[in-house]
Every structure is written in C-alpha cells, then in structure tokens.
Amino acid sequence: MSAPIVVADRVVAVLERVLGSSLEIRVRGWDGSEAGPPDAPVLVISSPRAIKRLLWQPNELGLARAYVAGELHVEGDLYTALSAIGPLLHPAEGKAALTAGDRGELIRAAVMLGAVGPQPRPPAEEASLHGRRHSRSRDREAIRHHYDVGNDFYRTVLGPSLVYSCAYWDSPDATLETAQAAKLELICRKLGLRPGMRLLDVGCGWGTMAIHAARKYGVSVVGVTLSHEQVELARKRVVEAGLASQVDIRLQDYRDVADGPFDAIASVGMAEHVGPDQFERYAGTLYRLLRPGGRLLNHQIARRPGPRRVAPTFISSYVFPDGELSPVGTTVSALEQAGFEVRDVESLREHYALTLRQWGANLNEQWDRAVRLAGAGRARVWRLYMAGSALAFEAGLIGVNQVLAVRIHSDGQSELPPTRTEWLGV
C-alpha cells in the first residue's frame, strides 16, 4: 500500500517551483502536516477547496477567493507572508504568473491531493454588477458594494476622523488622526480657500473634508456621493457640527451637478472609480463646473505605465469593482486636454503605505468587532486588501498623487501667487 501524500510537502514543492526559490513561509495542510522554515509565518490550508480554487484560477484571484472563504489563512505576520509569495501575486512585467510547466505541476499536485472537480462558487463577497460599465446605475452598484458595508465598520477601521484616503504624515509624532487633519489642511491650502467661496467635494465620503473646510475656512460646500450610508451619516455630522447652513450633502452623481460655477473643487480618492475610458468626460465636467481662476485638487491612486490589466483581480472583484488605475501622466494629460492648466503634482506614495498599515492595525486590534459588524468574509477582504496595498505602495508598484490644476482666465491669468510657498500658505 502506497504512503499517503503529505499535503504540506506537496504544496511547498509547487510554490518553490513557481517562485523559483526556497519558500520563506511555513505551510500547514488540512492533514496536519507542516513544512518550511520553523520560525516563519504559517500559511494554513484548511481545505482541499483552496487548492481547487487555485487549479481553476492559478493567480491572485484564486488565492484571494480561498482566503476570503476561510479555506486559507495566515498565522503570524500577514505582510511577511504576502511578501514571500509576492512574485505570484505581482509577476514581473511581461511574465505570466505561471508557466505551462507550472500549471502542469499544479494539476498533478491537485490530483494527488484529491482536490480536483468543478470550480467552487466564489465567496458571496465577490462583486456581481449589472448593466453597461460606468452607466449611472452600474456606478451606483459599484460604489454601494464598497461603501455601504456599514458606517460602524468603517469607523472601526478608519478611526474617528472617518477619512478614507491617504493621510499626510508631516511629523514623526503624528497619529492617524493628526495626519488626516494635516491632509485636509494641505488640500484646503492648495485650493486657496477663503470665506464666501463655494467648494464642490466630489466623492465627499462621510463629510469630514466638507466640515473641515466650512468650519475653518468659512466656505459653502456641496458634497456629493453615491453611497446612501455615507449620505445619512454625513448629514448627521454636518448638523451636529452646526454647519447645516453651509454644507449641503447630496446623494448625487457628479455628472448631475448643475448648480455651478464653484470657486474650488476637491476630488479625493474618487477618480479611481471613474476609469480611464471615462476620465476625459470626468475632467470636462469638472472644468465646466469651475469658474475661471478656480482650482481643482485631484487626489488619485496611480499605477505604473504599461499595458492595462484586463483579467479580473482581487481588487476589481472584491474591493473596487469597475475601478481602474491610470498612470499619473495619463491623468495630467486628460486634465490638460479638458482645458485645465496643471500647476503642481505631489506624490504621497509613502504616506499611503503608512496610512494603510495604521488602518490594518485598527482592524486587527478590533477584529471581533469588525466581524460582528460586517461578517467574517468582508473583514478578511479588508485585511487582505489593506496589507497587500500597503506592500504595493512600499514597493513602488502603485502611487498616489495630488494634482493641482486651475481653469485659467481667457487672458491667461491663473489667480495663483507666483511661488509655490505663497499659494501653499506656508
């Protein structure tokens, strides 16, 4: 009688073949077997279904489905574990995640481990959108998939500021809250806000930016979002801040805003949802909504230049459905094409890595609460999304940029002071 197949040994052999090096994490199989470095984080494969998912999707999406479903998890530091399998998640440009030989070895391993059969259904947390891509109805679906998870869940992860974008760590003593406040200040200074101005906050979230600008700079703010839950809480926060006469929070598509012109527009973490194919329309809409001399601050995550990814990814399937990143040069060109003059581009890449690690720490510290609020699968989506994104920012695979643009007057006047120091107010 042949000896039983040891799951951990077989999995380690396949991973080392794919990665082309010794594995820097330990593996534990559903049979209790273990293999790999003794003091490393442990990749726990608790069900043959995890292998079956990888057989059908031998890439980051297959791994993510197994993780979200709870068939695969990590004991120990998740960042270290993800770094160890990084080449599988982020293959070098022009290189497939698996060669034909790798796929053959994976199939043989799956057969030996009894992990073959029909493709398992994706976890319920995977997005399933309907209609034409970037139609108004489908965009509403996409936004609600991500943002209508529950305000209490977001407060648990983001902290009391409820700011869901990269913080600005301008001091070694900064906390997440002070760094988010510094980011809001940076945006307001770049926009040159003054009492009596009108500000449009595109993708206003839970209203934190709108409240800060109205309270500190005396501006009137229109904030728009497609999330019902964000609108409900943002309106409540505005009333509690005593700013109901200055801040109007709307459940509205930015394409439907018709009461311009505005003196300034802030779009923070929203343009990623627009997609490259719609970006010229987005830029043109904001240009028309801005008065001559008005400024736009576009805060947007960017990918490296190169071909667009068309295959489904973990992020596109579970986190930001229909979202897509563009290189910063593409964004700048589209803004200029719409008529804007781009005056400043500032990269905050390292700042976002720090922000994501802090959000991840908040989630881990209040894990049981997060699971109660959003469910185990959704909490696992967020844990994987934040850890993986932090590593991608740290490695320079993605970045984030604040692009300041102005709608100049017909005579070429921009209303900007002549030096950066002056218009930043520092």
pLDDT tens figures, 42-74: 999 999 999 999 888 888 899 999 999 999 999
Q: CA triplet 222, 225, 231: central angle to 5 degrees?
A: 85
Query: Does residue 143 lie in a domain region?
Result: yes
Other Cβ atoms less than 10 A from the Cβ of 330: the count is 15
| Mean pLDDT of the 164-182 span | 95
Query: Does residue 1 lie in a domain region?
Result: no
Per-residue pLDDT tens for 212-267?
999 999 999 999 999 999 999 999 999 999 999 999 999 999 999 999 999 999 99
Helix (H, G, I), strand (E, B) or coil at 149: coil
Question: Helices 151-158 and 367-374, interaxial angle, to 10°?
Answer: 160
* Lookup result for tokens 């071909």: 307
Check whether residue 255 and residue 163 sit in a common domain. Answer: yes
Q: Which are the contacts of 236, defined by CB distance < 8 A and separation ≥ 6?
A: none
Query: Encoding tokens for residue 108?
Result: 């043989």
Query: Does residue 122 lie in a domain region?
Result: no
Predicted TM-score (pTM) of this structure: 0.93
Q: Which are the contacts of 245, defined by CB distance < 8 A and separation ≥ 6?
A: none
Check whether residue 374 and residue 229 sit in a common domain. Answer: yes
Check whether residue 75 and residue 214 sit in a common domain. Answer: no
**Range of 134-138, 186-190, 304-308 with top mean pLDDT:** 186-190
Check whether residue 273 and residue 189 sit in a common domain. Answer: yes
Q: How many domains, the chain?
A: 2
Per-residue pLDDT tens for 27-49?
999 999 999 999 999 999 999 99
Query: Encoding tokens for residue 385?
Result: 């999304």
Which candidate, 87, 82, 7, 9, places its Cα nearest to that of 40?
82
Q: Which are the contacts of 229, defined by CB distance < 8 A and separation ≥ 6?
A: 147, 148, 149, 150, 151
Check whether residue 232 and residue 360 sit in a common domain. Answer: yes
Query: Does residue 119 lie in a domain region?
Result: no
Query: Does residue 123 lie in a domain region?
Result: no
Check which CATH number belongs to the domain holding 233 and give it.
3.40.50.150
Query: Does residue 117 lie in a domain region?
Result: no
Query: Does residue 299 lie in a domain region?
Result: yes
Check whether residue 101 and residue 159 sit in a common domain. Answer: no
* Lookup result for tokens 């934040």: 386
CA atoms within 13 A on the CB side of 306: 10
What average pLDDT does the structure give for the chain?
91
* Lookup result for tokens 């902290």: 159
Predicted pLDDT of residue 147: 77
| Cα–Cα distance, 102 to 92 (Å, whole number) | 16
Check whether residue 106 and residue 171 sit in a common domain. Answer: no
Cis peptide before 261 (omega within 30 of 0): yes
Q: Which are the contacts of 166, defined by CB distance < 8 A and separation ≥ 6?
A: 183, 269, 299, 348, 351, 352, 355, 400
Helix (H, G, I), strand (E, B) or coil at 169: coil
Check whether residue 58 and residue 150 sit in a common domain. Answer: no
Cβ proximity of 213 and 199 under 8 Å: yes
Which candidate, 349, 361, 371, places its Cα nearest to that of 78?
361
**Domain limits at 273?**
136-424
Check whether residue 99 and residue 183 sit in a common domain. Answer: no
Q: Dihedral sign, CA of 104, 110, 111, 113?
A: positive
Query: Does residue 126 lie in a domain region?
Result: no
Check whether residue 190 and residue 256 sit in a common domain. Answer: yes
